[in-house]
Amino acid sequence: MDEQPGLSDEYRKASPWPLFVAFGLAIFEVGIVWPLFPVAVGGLLLFAGSVVGILRESEYIADPWKGLVTASVLCLAIGALITTTTTGSVHLRGLAILVGGVVLLLSGVFGSFWQPDAV
């Protein structure tokens, strides 16, 4: 009798990334609802990094550093749009997205320089 019926070695194991995507969004929103700017930026970084991790794990992208740069461009564009067109707490959300986009851009660019060369 098989210990794990219906499972074989060809199926992948469960991925941890969806949990981090959910936590990233929740932390980002907590940072916005209670005006905790660093918490909001950290939640955005966790969310974007987890999405890039999912894309890399499922082999939609080959280089996670380029994925971070792409995510940063999206964050910068969305954050700039929100920041320039709104006021109040929504403006804070735009600023958090802008700062998160800058951090993602810096990490993507510098990470690609320090990546070990493939042999």
Q: Is 104 part of a structural domain of the chain?
A: yes
Q: Is 103 part of a structural domain of the chain?
A: yes
Q: Is 70 part of a structural domain of the chain?
A: yes
Maximum alpha-carbon separation in the chain: 65
Sign (positive or negative) of CA dihedral 96, 97, 100, 102: negative
Q: What is the mean pLDDT of residues 68-83?
A: 94
Q: Is 44 part of a structural domain of the chain?
A: yes
What whole-number percentage of the chain has pLDDT above 90? 52
Q: Is 89 part of a structural domain of the chain?
A: yes
Residue 29 token pair: 């929103």
Q: Is 34 part of a structural domain of the chain?
A: yes
pLDDT band at residue 3, thresholds of 50, 70 and 90?
Answer: low
Q: Is 63 part of a structural domain of the chain?
A: yes
CA distance 34 to 51: 24
The number of domains in the chain is 1
Domain of 61 in residue numbering reads as: 17-112
pTM value? 0.80
- The DSSP line for 64-112 is HHHHHHHHHHHHHHHHHHHHHH--THHHHHHHHHHHHHHHHHHHHHHHH
Q: Is 78 part of a structural domain of the chain?
A: yes
Task: Tell me the per-residue pLDDT of 16-45, one tens digit each, with 9 for 90 and over.
Answer: 888 899 999 999 989 888 888 999 999 999
What is the CB neighbour count within 10 angstroms for residue 5? Answer: 6
